[in-house]
Structure 1
Amino acid sequence: MIEIKGLSFGYRKKGKLFQNLSLDIKPGRISGLLGKNGAGKTTLLKIICGLLFPHSGECKVFGVDSYRRCPESLGEIFFIPEEFYLPSITPKEYINAFAPFYGRFDIVKFNEYLKTFEIPLGVRLTSMSYGQKKKFLLAFGLATACKILLLDEPTNGLDIPSKSQFRKTLASAVTDDRIILVSTHQVRDMENLLDSIIILDNGEIIFQQEMDSILS
Protein backbone atom coordinates (compact mmCIF):
# COMPACT_ATOMS: atom_id res chain seq x y z
CA MET A 1 0.00 0.00 0.00
CA ILE A 2 1.10 3.56 -0.70
CA GLU A 3 0.28 5.95 2.15
CA ILE A 4 0.85 9.68 1.77
CA LYS A 5 0.01 11.92 4.73
CA GLY A 6 0.38 15.69 5.06
CA LEU A 7 2.97 15.82 2.29
CA SER A 8 4.44 19.15 1.21
CA PHE A 9 6.89 19.64 -1.63
CA GLY A 10 8.00 22.42 -3.93
CA TYR A 11 10.73 23.51 -6.31
CA ARG A 12 12.97 26.41 -5.44
CA LYS A 13 12.10 28.50 -8.49
CA LYS A 14 8.44 27.49 -8.74
CA GLY A 15 7.37 27.54 -5.10
CA LYS A 16 5.09 25.05 -3.39
CA LEU A 17 3.59 22.30 -5.52
CA PHE A 18 2.05 20.09 -2.82
CA GLN A 19 0.73 21.42 0.48
CA ASN A 20 -0.57 18.94 3.07
CA LEU A 21 -1.35 16.29 0.42
CA SER A 22 -2.82 12.99 1.62
CA LEU A 23 -3.54 9.91 -0.47
CA ASP A 24 -3.86 6.12 -0.06
CA ILE A 25 -3.41 3.71 -2.97
CA LYS A 26 -4.29 0.06 -2.45
CA PRO A 27 -2.96 -3.01 -4.29
CA GLY A 28 -4.94 -5.34 -6.52
CA ARG A 29 -5.92 -2.76 -9.11
CA ILE A 30 -4.77 -0.35 -11.79
CA SER A 31 -5.06 3.21 -10.52
CA GLY A 32 -5.02 6.19 -12.84
CA LEU A 33 -3.32 9.41 -11.78
CA LEU A 34 -4.96 11.96 -14.05
CA GLY A 35 -4.41 15.64 -14.62
CA LYS A 36 -3.23 18.21 -17.10
CA ASN A 37 0.45 18.76 -17.84
CA GLY A 38 2.12 20.52 -14.93
CA ALA A 39 -0.39 19.29 -12.34
CA GLY A 40 2.33 17.47 -10.39
CA LYS A 41 1.79 13.88 -11.57
CA THR A 42 5.42 13.13 -12.44
CA THR A 43 6.67 14.80 -9.26
CA LEU A 44 4.36 12.63 -7.16
CA LEU A 45 5.60 9.46 -8.88
CA LYS A 46 9.19 10.48 -8.17
CA ILE A 47 8.37 11.06 -4.50
CA ILE A 48 6.74 7.63 -4.29
CA CYS A 49 9.82 5.89 -5.68
CA GLY A 50 12.22 7.97 -3.59
CA LEU A 51 13.80 10.10 -6.31
CA LEU A 52 12.50 13.27 -4.65
CA PHE A 53 12.21 13.95 -0.92
CA PRO A 54 9.13 15.60 0.66
CA HIS A 55 9.77 18.82 2.56
CA SER A 56 7.36 17.67 5.26
CA GLY A 57 4.83 14.91 5.84
CA GLU A 58 5.43 11.33 4.82
CA CYS A 59 5.20 8.92 1.93
CA LYS A 60 5.28 5.27 2.93
CA VAL A 61 5.48 2.34 0.54
CA PHE A 62 4.36 -0.86 2.23
CA GLY A 63 5.19 0.74 5.57
CA VAL A 64 8.65 2.08 4.66
CA ASP A 65 9.47 5.76 4.05
CA SER A 66 10.14 6.06 0.32
CA TYR A 67 12.99 8.56 0.76
CA ARG A 68 15.08 5.96 2.63
CA ARG A 69 15.59 4.02 -0.63
CA CYS A 70 16.56 0.84 1.20
CA PRO A 71 17.49 -2.11 -1.08
CA GLU A 72 14.50 -4.18 0.02
CA SER A 73 12.09 -1.42 -0.98
CA LEU A 74 13.86 -0.53 -4.23
CA GLY A 75 13.61 -4.15 -5.31
CA GLU A 76 9.83 -3.86 -5.10
CA ILE A 77 9.42 -0.68 -7.17
CA PHE A 78 9.81 -0.23 -10.91
CA PHE A 79 9.34 3.22 -12.43
CA ILE A 80 9.09 3.93 -16.15
CA PRO A 81 9.35 7.70 -16.69
CA GLU A 82 8.09 9.44 -19.79
CA GLU A 83 11.64 10.37 -20.76
CA PHE A 84 14.35 7.82 -20.09
CA TYR A 85 17.85 6.71 -21.04
CA LEU A 86 18.82 3.22 -22.15
CA PRO A 87 22.45 2.13 -22.57
CA SER A 88 23.89 0.99 -25.88
CA ILE A 89 23.62 -2.73 -25.09
CA THR A 90 21.46 -5.64 -26.26
CA PRO A 91 18.35 -6.85 -24.40
CA LYS A 92 20.29 -9.89 -23.16
CA GLU A 93 23.08 -7.70 -21.79
CA TYR A 94 20.48 -5.48 -20.11
CA ILE A 95 18.96 -8.51 -18.39
CA ASN A 96 22.35 -9.73 -17.21
CA ALA A 97 23.10 -6.30 -15.75
CA PHE A 98 19.79 -5.37 -14.11
CA ALA A 99 17.69 -8.48 -13.48
CA PRO A 100 19.80 -9.51 -10.42
CA PHE A 101 18.44 -6.47 -8.55
CA TYR A 102 14.97 -8.05 -8.62
CA GLY A 103 14.74 -11.31 -6.71
CA ARG A 104 11.59 -12.59 -8.45
CA PHE A 105 12.56 -11.66 -12.00
CA ASP A 106 10.91 -14.14 -14.39
CA ILE A 107 12.94 -14.64 -17.57
CA VAL A 108 10.24 -16.84 -19.11
CA LYS A 109 7.63 -14.11 -18.65
CA PHE A 110 10.06 -11.51 -19.94
CA ASN A 111 10.61 -13.43 -23.17
CA GLU A 112 6.84 -13.85 -23.54
CA TYR A 113 6.36 -10.10 -23.19
CA LEU A 114 9.09 -9.40 -25.74
CA LYS A 115 7.37 -11.72 -28.20
CA THR A 116 4.00 -10.09 -27.55
CA PHE A 117 5.47 -6.62 -28.09
CA GLU A 118 7.50 -7.77 -31.13
CA ILE A 119 10.76 -6.46 -29.70
CA PRO A 120 13.86 -7.43 -31.73
CA LEU A 121 16.50 -9.24 -29.68
CA GLY A 122 19.54 -8.85 -31.89
CA VAL A 123 19.82 -5.05 -31.85
CA ARG A 124 21.10 -2.58 -29.31
CA LEU A 125 18.54 -0.74 -27.25
CA THR A 126 19.74 2.59 -28.61
CA SER A 127 18.84 1.43 -32.14
CA MET A 128 15.20 0.86 -31.22
CA SER A 129 12.43 3.36 -31.80
CA TYR A 130 11.02 5.29 -28.85
CA GLY A 131 7.94 3.06 -28.82
CA GLN A 132 10.05 -0.12 -28.89
CA LYS A 133 12.18 1.15 -26.02
CA LYS A 134 9.08 1.90 -23.98
CA LYS A 135 7.63 -1.56 -24.63
CA PHE A 136 10.98 -3.13 -23.74
CA LEU A 137 10.99 -1.34 -20.39
CA LEU A 138 7.39 -2.35 -19.76
CA ALA A 139 8.27 -5.98 -20.49
CA PHE A 140 11.19 -5.78 -18.07
CA GLY A 141 9.12 -4.01 -15.41
CA LEU A 142 6.34 -6.58 -15.54
CA ALA A 143 8.84 -9.46 -15.45
CA THR A 144 10.39 -8.13 -12.24
CA ALA A 145 7.16 -9.06 -10.39
CA CYS A 146 7.60 -5.86 -8.36
CA LYS A 147 4.81 -4.97 -5.96
CA ILE A 148 4.69 -1.42 -7.30
CA LEU A 149 4.78 -0.48 -10.98
CA LEU A 150 4.76 3.25 -11.73
CA LEU A 151 4.14 4.34 -15.33
CA ASP A 152 4.40 7.95 -16.48
CA GLU A 153 2.49 8.66 -19.71
CA PRO A 154 3.02 5.06 -20.91
CA THR A 155 1.03 5.36 -24.14
CA ASN A 156 2.97 8.35 -25.47
CA GLY A 157 4.91 7.29 -28.54
CA LEU A 158 2.83 4.15 -29.14
CA ASP A 159 0.77 3.59 -32.29
CA ILE A 160 -2.85 2.42 -32.05
CA PRO A 161 -2.12 -1.36 -32.26
CA SER A 162 0.62 -0.98 -29.64
CA LYS A 163 -1.73 0.90 -27.31
CA SER A 164 -4.25 -1.93 -27.52
CA GLN A 165 -1.48 -4.46 -26.91
CA PHE A 166 -0.27 -2.43 -23.94
CA ARG A 167 -3.73 -2.33 -22.34
CA LYS A 168 -4.24 -6.09 -22.67
CA THR A 169 -0.81 -6.88 -21.26
CA LEU A 170 -1.13 -4.49 -18.34
CA ALA A 171 -4.60 -5.79 -17.44
CA SER A 172 -3.25 -9.35 -17.32
CA ALA A 173 -0.48 -8.28 -14.92
CA VAL A 174 -2.79 -7.26 -12.05
CA THR A 175 -2.35 -9.33 -8.89
CA ASP A 176 -3.80 -8.99 -5.39
CA ASP A 177 -0.53 -7.69 -3.95
CA ARG A 178 0.57 -5.40 -6.79
CA ILE A 179 -0.05 -1.69 -7.21
CA ILE A 180 -0.05 -0.42 -10.78
CA LEU A 181 -0.19 3.38 -10.89
CA VAL A 182 -0.50 5.01 -14.30
CA SER A 183 0.01 8.75 -14.73
CA THR A 184 -1.56 10.20 -17.86
CA HIS A 185 -3.37 13.15 -19.36
CA GLN A 186 -4.63 10.98 -22.24
CA VAL A 187 -7.71 9.59 -20.52
CA ARG A 188 -9.18 7.99 -23.64
CA ASP A 189 -6.19 5.66 -23.91
CA MET A 190 -6.75 4.32 -20.40
CA GLU A 191 -10.43 4.72 -19.47
CA ASN A 192 -11.39 1.05 -20.01
CA LEU A 193 -8.33 -0.18 -18.12
CA LEU A 194 -8.51 1.73 -14.85
CA ASP A 195 -10.06 0.37 -11.65
CA SER A 196 -9.78 3.65 -9.76
CA ILE A 197 -9.20 7.29 -10.62
CA ILE A 198 -7.20 9.99 -8.85
CA ILE A 199 -7.38 13.50 -10.32
CA LEU A 200 -4.59 15.91 -9.47
CA ASP A 201 -4.96 19.63 -10.17
CA ASN A 202 -2.55 22.37 -9.13
CA GLY A 203 -0.95 20.08 -6.58
CA GLU A 204 -4.22 19.00 -4.95
CA ILE A 205 -6.25 15.78 -5.08
CA ILE A 206 -9.63 17.02 -6.28
CA PHE A 207 -11.18 13.60 -6.94
CA GLN A 208 -10.55 9.97 -5.96
CA GLN A 209 -13.04 7.21 -6.65
CA GLU A 210 -13.37 3.57 -7.70
CA MET A 211 -14.59 3.09 -11.27
CA ASP A 212 -17.35 0.74 -10.07
CA SER A 213 -18.77 3.55 -7.94
CA ILE A 214 -18.59 6.03 -10.80
CA LEU A 215 -20.34 3.72 -13.27
CA SER A 216 -23.04 2.43 -10.90
Structure 2
Amino acid sequence: MVSLQHLYFAYNKAVPILEDVNLSLRPGRIYGLLGKNGAGKSSLMYNICGLLFPASGSVSVLGHTPALRRPAFLQQVCLLPEDFEMPPMRISEYLRMYAPFYPHFSHEAFENYMKVFGMPAQQSLQALSHGEQKKVLISFTLATNAKLILMDEPTNGLDIPSKRQFRKVIAGGLQEDQCIVISTHQVKDLDSLIDEVLILEDRRIILQESVSGITEKLSFRQVMSLEETEMPVYSEGSLKGYAVVAVNRKAEQSRMDMEMFFNAVMTEKEKILSLFQR
Protein backbone atom coordinates (compact mmCIF):
# COMPACT_ATOMS: atom_id res chain seq x y z
CA MET A 1 0.00 0.00 0.00
CA VAL A 2 2.79 2.44 0.98
CA SER A 3 6.43 1.99 0.02
CA LEU A 4 9.29 4.38 0.72
CA GLN A 5 12.73 3.60 -0.66
CA HIS A 6 15.82 5.54 0.44
CA LEU A 7 13.81 8.72 0.96
CA TYR A 8 15.83 11.86 1.57
CA PHE A 9 14.18 15.15 2.49
CA ALA A 10 15.52 18.51 3.63
CA TYR A 11 14.07 22.01 3.87
CA ASN A 12 17.50 23.22 2.86
CA LYS A 13 20.44 21.24 1.56
CA ALA A 14 22.55 21.78 4.66
CA VAL A 15 20.17 20.21 7.21
CA PRO A 16 18.51 16.90 6.28
CA ILE A 17 15.27 16.07 8.08
CA LEU A 18 14.83 12.55 6.71
CA GLU A 19 17.68 10.46 5.40
CA ASP A 20 17.58 7.00 3.79
CA VAL A 21 14.07 6.25 5.09
CA ASN A 22 12.77 2.83 4.08
CA LEU A 23 9.23 1.90 5.01
CA SER A 24 6.49 -0.49 3.93
CA LEU A 25 2.89 -0.25 5.18
CA ARG A 26 0.11 -2.78 4.65
CA PRO A 27 -3.70 -2.46 4.62
CA GLY A 28 -5.73 -3.58 7.61
CA ARG A 29 -3.18 -2.17 10.07
CA ILE A 30 -3.01 0.76 12.48
CA TYR A 31 0.53 2.10 12.74
CA GLY A 32 1.84 4.25 15.55
CA LEU A 33 4.56 6.64 14.34
CA LEU A 34 6.53 7.56 17.44
CA GLY A 35 9.36 10.01 17.90
CA LYS A 36 10.53 12.98 19.91
CA ASN A 37 9.41 16.50 19.07
CA GLY A 38 11.27 17.61 15.96
CA ALA A 39 12.18 14.07 14.90
CA GLY A 40 10.54 14.59 11.48
CA LYS A 41 7.23 12.75 11.95
CA SER A 42 5.15 15.47 10.30
CA SER A 43 7.65 15.81 7.45
CA LEU A 44 7.44 12.07 6.82
CA MET A 45 3.64 12.11 6.73
CA TYR A 46 3.60 15.13 4.43
CA ASN A 47 5.97 13.35 2.03
CA ILE A 48 3.62 10.36 2.02
CA CYS A 49 0.57 12.47 1.16
CA GLY A 50 2.36 14.65 -1.39
CA LEU A 51 2.41 17.98 0.44
CA LEU A 52 6.21 17.81 0.66
CA PHE A 53 8.54 16.36 -1.96
CA PRO A 54 11.61 14.19 -1.41
CA ALA A 55 14.95 15.41 -2.73
CA SER A 56 15.82 11.82 -3.63
CA GLY A 57 14.46 8.31 -3.19
CA SER A 58 10.96 7.17 -4.04
CA VAL A 59 7.50 7.25 -2.49
CA SER A 60 4.71 5.03 -3.79
CA VAL A 61 1.21 5.12 -2.28
CA LEU A 62 -1.54 2.92 -3.68
CA GLY A 63 0.41 2.73 -6.93
CA HIS A 64 0.67 6.53 -7.20
CA THR A 65 3.51 9.01 -6.85
CA PRO A 66 2.15 11.42 -4.20
CA ALA A 67 4.06 14.46 -5.47
CA LEU A 68 2.00 14.40 -8.70
CA ARG A 69 -1.17 15.10 -6.64
CA ARG A 70 -3.46 13.38 -9.14
CA PRO A 71 -7.21 13.28 -8.29
CA ALA A 72 -7.28 9.46 -8.24
CA PHE A 73 -4.62 9.60 -5.52
CA LEU A 74 -6.12 12.47 -3.53
CA GLN A 75 -9.51 10.71 -3.34
CA GLN A 76 -7.90 7.80 -1.49
CA VAL A 77 -5.75 9.68 1.03
CA CYS A 78 -6.86 11.87 3.92
CA LEU A 79 -4.57 13.83 6.25
CA LEU A 80 -5.59 15.18 9.64
CA PRO A 81 -2.97 17.89 10.31
CA GLU A 82 -1.76 18.90 13.73
CA ASP A 83 -2.35 22.61 13.06
CA PHE A 84 -5.51 23.75 11.34
CA GLU A 85 -7.85 26.71 10.99
CA MET A 86 -11.55 26.00 10.51
CA PRO A 87 -13.56 28.12 8.04
CA PRO A 88 -16.41 30.35 9.29
CA MET A 89 -19.32 28.03 8.44
CA ARG A 90 -21.67 25.52 9.99
CA ILE A 91 -20.71 21.84 10.20
CA SER A 92 -23.39 20.97 7.64
CA GLU A 93 -21.91 23.51 5.20
CA TYR A 94 -18.43 22.09 5.79
CA LEU A 95 -19.71 18.64 4.84
CA ARG A 96 -21.42 19.94 1.71
CA MET A 97 -18.21 21.62 0.61
CA TYR A 98 -15.57 18.99 1.42
CA ALA A 99 -17.26 15.57 1.53
CA PRO A 100 -17.68 15.39 -2.30
CA PHE A 101 -13.89 15.21 -2.66
CA TYR A 102 -14.12 11.69 -1.22
CA PRO A 103 -16.31 9.31 -3.29
CA HIS A 104 -16.85 6.91 -0.37
CA PHE A 105 -17.64 9.51 2.28
CA SER A 106 -20.30 8.25 4.73
CA HIS A 107 -22.59 10.83 6.30
CA GLU A 108 -24.01 8.10 8.56
CA ALA A 109 -20.54 7.23 9.84
CA PHE A 110 -19.78 10.92 10.43
CA GLU A 111 -22.91 11.28 12.57
CA ASN A 112 -22.04 8.13 14.52
CA TYR A 113 -18.51 9.35 15.28
CA MET A 114 -19.88 12.72 16.37
CA LYS A 115 -22.28 10.95 18.74
CA VAL A 116 -19.41 8.99 20.30
CA PHE A 117 -17.67 12.32 20.94
CA GLY A 118 -20.89 13.78 22.32
CA MET A 119 -20.90 16.46 19.64
CA PRO A 120 -24.08 17.92 18.07
CA ALA A 121 -23.82 18.01 14.28
CA GLN A 122 -25.57 21.36 13.84
CA GLN A 123 -23.19 24.04 15.04
CA SER A 124 -20.97 26.78 13.72
CA LEU A 125 -17.35 25.65 13.54
CA GLN A 126 -16.16 29.03 14.79
CA ALA A 127 -18.26 28.66 17.95
CA LEU A 128 -16.44 25.47 18.93
CA SER A 129 -13.35 25.17 21.10
CA HIS A 130 -10.11 23.88 19.58
CA GLY A 131 -10.71 20.44 21.07
CA GLU A 132 -14.27 20.34 19.73
CA GLN A 133 -13.08 21.38 16.28
CA LYS A 134 -10.57 18.54 16.38
CA LYS A 135 -13.37 16.08 17.18
CA VAL A 136 -15.20 17.29 14.07
CA LEU A 137 -12.06 16.81 11.96
CA ILE A 138 -11.40 13.35 13.39
CA SER A 139 -14.99 12.36 12.61
CA PHE A 140 -14.71 13.77 9.09
CA THR A 141 -11.37 12.09 8.45
CA LEU A 142 -12.65 8.64 9.41
CA ALA A 143 -15.92 9.15 7.52
CA THR A 144 -14.04 9.71 4.26
CA ASN A 145 -13.31 5.97 4.18
CA ALA A 146 -10.04 6.86 2.44
CA LYS A 147 -7.71 3.91 1.87
CA LEU A 148 -4.88 5.72 3.66
CA ILE A 149 -5.58 7.89 6.68
CA LEU A 150 -2.76 9.96 8.20
CA MET A 151 -3.28 11.58 11.60
CA ASP A 152 -0.67 14.03 12.88
CA GLU A 153 -0.84 14.44 16.68
CA PRO A 154 -4.62 13.83 16.73
CA THR A 155 -4.94 13.76 20.52
CA ASN A 156 -3.35 17.20 21.06
CA GLY A 157 -6.08 19.42 22.49
CA LEU A 158 -8.28 16.53 23.63
CA ASP A 159 -9.12 16.06 27.30
CA ILE A 160 -8.84 12.65 29.00
CA PRO A 161 -12.43 11.49 28.30
CA SER A 162 -12.07 12.60 24.66
CA LYS A 163 -8.84 10.61 24.29
CA ARG A 164 -10.73 7.53 25.42
CA GLN A 165 -13.44 8.28 22.86
CA PHE A 166 -10.75 8.76 20.22
CA ARG A 167 -9.37 5.29 20.87
CA LYS A 168 -12.90 3.91 20.60
CA VAL A 169 -13.67 5.45 17.21
CA ILE A 170 -10.27 4.48 15.78
CA ALA A 171 -10.57 0.88 16.96
CA GLY A 172 -14.03 0.58 15.42
CA GLY A 173 -13.32 2.52 12.24
CA LEU A 174 -10.62 0.49 10.46
CA GLN A 175 -11.62 -1.58 7.44
CA GLU A 176 -9.61 -4.42 5.91
CA ASP A 177 -8.55 -2.38 2.88
CA GLN A 178 -7.55 0.67 4.93
CA CYS A 179 -4.33 1.71 6.61
CA ILE A 180 -4.17 4.27 9.43
CA VAL A 181 -0.95 5.98 10.50
CA ILE A 182 -1.07 7.95 13.75
CA SER A 183 1.85 10.21 14.59
CA THR A 184 2.30 11.28 18.19
CA HIS A 185 4.80 12.12 20.89
CA GLN A 186 2.06 11.50 23.49
CA VAL A 187 2.85 7.81 23.35
CA LYS A 188 0.47 6.67 26.08
CA ASP A 189 -2.52 7.78 24.00
CA LEU A 190 -1.90 4.86 21.61
CA ASP A 191 -1.93 2.08 24.21
CA SER A 192 -4.11 -0.89 23.18
CA LEU A 193 -4.83 0.75 19.83
CA ILE A 194 -2.07 0.10 17.30
CA ASP A 195 -0.90 -3.02 15.49
CA GLU A 196 2.64 -1.93 14.59
CA VAL A 197 5.14 0.51 16.05
CA LEU A 198 7.28 2.78 13.88
CA ILE A 199 10.00 4.75 15.66
CA LEU A 200 11.60 7.69 13.88
CA GLU A 201 14.98 8.71 15.27
CA ASP A 202 18.22 10.01 13.80
CA ARG A 203 16.37 11.00 10.58
CA ARG A 204 15.30 7.43 9.76
CA ILE A 205 12.97 4.66 10.84
CA ILE A 206 15.04 2.76 13.39
CA LEU A 207 12.33 0.23 14.28
CA GLN A 208 9.24 -1.21 12.64
CA GLU A 209 7.73 -4.05 14.64
CA SER A 210 4.30 -5.47 15.45
CA VAL A 211 3.03 -5.28 19.02
CA SER A 212 2.95 -9.08 19.15
CA GLY A 213 6.56 -9.18 17.95
CA ILE A 214 7.58 -6.75 20.69
CA THR A 215 5.88 -8.71 23.49
CA GLU A 216 7.44 -11.89 22.14
CA LYS A 217 10.91 -10.42 22.68
CA LEU A 218 10.22 -8.29 25.74
CA SER A 219 8.10 -8.55 28.87
CA PHE A 220 6.49 -5.63 30.68
CA ARG A 221 5.92 -6.01 34.40
CA GLN A 222 5.59 -4.32 37.79
CA VAL A 223 7.95 -5.50 40.56
CA MET A 224 8.78 -4.41 44.08
CA SER A 225 12.53 -4.99 43.58
CA LEU A 226 14.72 -5.11 40.48
CA GLU A 227 16.21 -8.31 41.88
CA GLU A 228 12.94 -10.03 41.04
CA THR A 229 13.54 -9.53 37.32
CA GLU A 230 15.91 -11.51 35.15
CA MET A 231 17.55 -9.63 32.26
CA PRO A 232 16.06 -6.16 32.88
CA VAL A 233 16.68 -3.77 29.99
CA TYR A 234 14.97 -0.66 31.31
CA SER A 235 13.17 0.33 34.49
CA GLU A 236 11.31 3.27 36.00
CA GLY A 237 10.55 3.83 39.66
CA SER A 238 6.86 3.89 40.56
CA LEU A 239 4.64 4.03 43.64
CA LYS A 240 4.46 0.23 43.59
CA GLY A 241 8.16 -0.42 43.14
CA TYR A 242 9.43 -0.52 39.57
CA ALA A 243 7.96 -0.75 36.09
CA VAL A 244 10.34 -2.95 34.13
CA VAL A 245 11.02 -3.89 30.52
CA ALA A 246 12.97 -7.15 30.40
CA VAL A 247 14.15 -9.68 27.85
CA ASN A 248 11.35 -12.25 27.56
CA ARG A 249 13.39 -15.43 28.00
CA LYS A 250 10.54 -17.53 29.40
CA ALA A 251 7.95 -16.72 26.71
CA GLU A 252 5.79 -14.87 29.23
CA GLN A 253 2.64 -13.10 28.12
CA SER A 254 2.45 -9.44 29.06
CA ARG A 255 0.60 -6.33 27.96
CA MET A 256 2.77 -3.86 26.11
CA ASP A 257 3.19 -0.45 27.73
CA MET A 258 3.75 1.88 24.76
CA GLU A 259 5.27 4.69 26.80
CA MET A 260 7.64 2.33 28.62
CA PHE A 261 8.72 0.75 25.36
CA PHE A 262 9.40 4.10 23.70
CA ASN A 263 11.38 5.31 26.73
CA ALA A 264 13.32 2.05 26.73
CA VAL A 265 14.26 2.47 23.05
CA MET A 266 15.33 6.08 23.59
CA THR A 267 17.43 5.16 26.65
CA GLU A 268 18.80 1.73 25.70
CA LYS A 269 18.69 1.98 21.91
CA GLU A 270 21.42 -0.52 21.05
CA LYS A 271 20.19 -3.14 23.51
CA ILE A 272 16.59 -2.94 22.31
CA LEU A 273 17.30 -2.74 18.59
CA SER A 274 19.68 -5.71 18.71
CA LEU A 275 16.74 -7.88 19.80
CA PHE A 276 14.82 -7.07 16.62
CA GLN A 277 17.59 -7.27 14.04
CA ARG A 278 16.78 -9.74 11.30
Question: How high is the TM-score relative to the length of structure 2?
Answer: 0.76
Is the contact between residue 111 and residue 121 of structure 2 (CA under 8 Å) also seen in structure 1?
Answer: no
For 1:10, the aligned partner's letter is A
Q: Could you list the runs of 5+ residues in structure 1 that have no partner in the other structure?
A: none
- For residues 39-85 of structure 1, the C-alpha deviation after alignment (integer angstroms, 9 at most, x for no partner) is 00000010111000100111110111111110011011111111111
**1:135 alignment partner, SS class:** helix
Are residues 14 and 93 of structure 1, via their aligned partners in 2, closer, same or farther at CA, if it must alter by over 3 Å?
A: farther
How far apart, in 1, do the equivalents of 2:111 and 2:99 lie?
13
**Greater CA deviation, 113-122 or 205-214?**
113-122
2:5 aligned residue: 5
1:52 aligned residue: 52
Deviation of 1:13 (Å):
7.5
RMSD after superposition: 1.1
2:37 aligned residue: 37
Are residues 131 and 14 of structure 1, via their aligned partners in 2, closer, same or farther at CA, if it must alter by over 3 Å?
A: farther
Deviation of 1:121 (Å):
3.0
Is the contact between residue 18 and residue 203 of structure 1 (CA under 8 Å) also seen in structure 2?
Answer: yes
- Counting only pairs closer than 5 Å after superposition, residues 41-190 of structure 1 correspond to structure 2 as 41-190=41-190
Is the contact between residue 40 and residue 202 of structure 1 (CA under 8 Å) also seen in structure 2?
Answer: no
For 1:47, the aligned partner's letter is N
How far apart, in 2, do the equivalents of 1:133 and 1:197 lie?
28
Deviation of 1:14 (Å):
6.0
**Greater CA deviation, 12-21 or 35-44?**
12-21
Deviation of 1:164 (Å):
0.5
How far apart, in 2, do the equivalents of 1:152 and 1:160 lie?
18
How far apart, in 2, do the equivalents of 1:123 and 1:171 lie?
26
Deviation of 1:174 (Å):
1.4
How far apart, in 2, do the equivalents of 1:166 and 1:31 lie?
15
How far apart, in 1, do the equivalents of 2:121 and 2:191 lie?
32
**1:64 alignment partner, SS class:** coil
1:15 aligned residue: 15
- For residues 65-110 of structure 1, the C-alpha deviation after alignment (integer angstroms, 9 at most, x for no partner) is 1111100110111111111111010010001101111101111111
For 1:196, the aligned partner's letter is E
2:214 aligned residue: 214
For 2:215, the aligned partner's letter is L
Question: How high is the TM-score relative to the length of structure 1?
Answer: 0.97
**Greater CA deviation, 198-207 or 39-48?**
198-207
**1:27 alignment partner, SS class:** coil
- For residues 109-130 of structure 1, the C-alpha deviation after alignment (integer angstroms, 9 at most, x for no partner) is 1111112112233321121111
Aligned length: 216
Q: Could you list the runs of 4 or more consecutive aligned residues of structure 1 that deviate by over 6 angstroms after TM superposition?
A: none
How far apart, in 2, do the equivalents of 1:13 and 1:134 lie?
34
Are residues 128 and 14 of structure 1, via their aligned partners in 2, closer, same or farther at CA, if it must alter by over 3 Å?
A: farther
How far apart, in 2, do the equivalents of 1:157 and 1:164 lie?
13
Deviation of 1:150 (Å):
0.5
How far apart, in 2, do the equivalents of 1:49 and 1:37 lie?
20
How far apart, in 2, do the equivalents of 1:56 and 1:13 lie?
12
Identity of aligned residues (%): 44
Are residues 7 and 152 of structure 1, via their aligned partners in 2, closer, same or farther at CA, if it must alter by over 3 Å?
A: same
1:27 aligned residue: 27
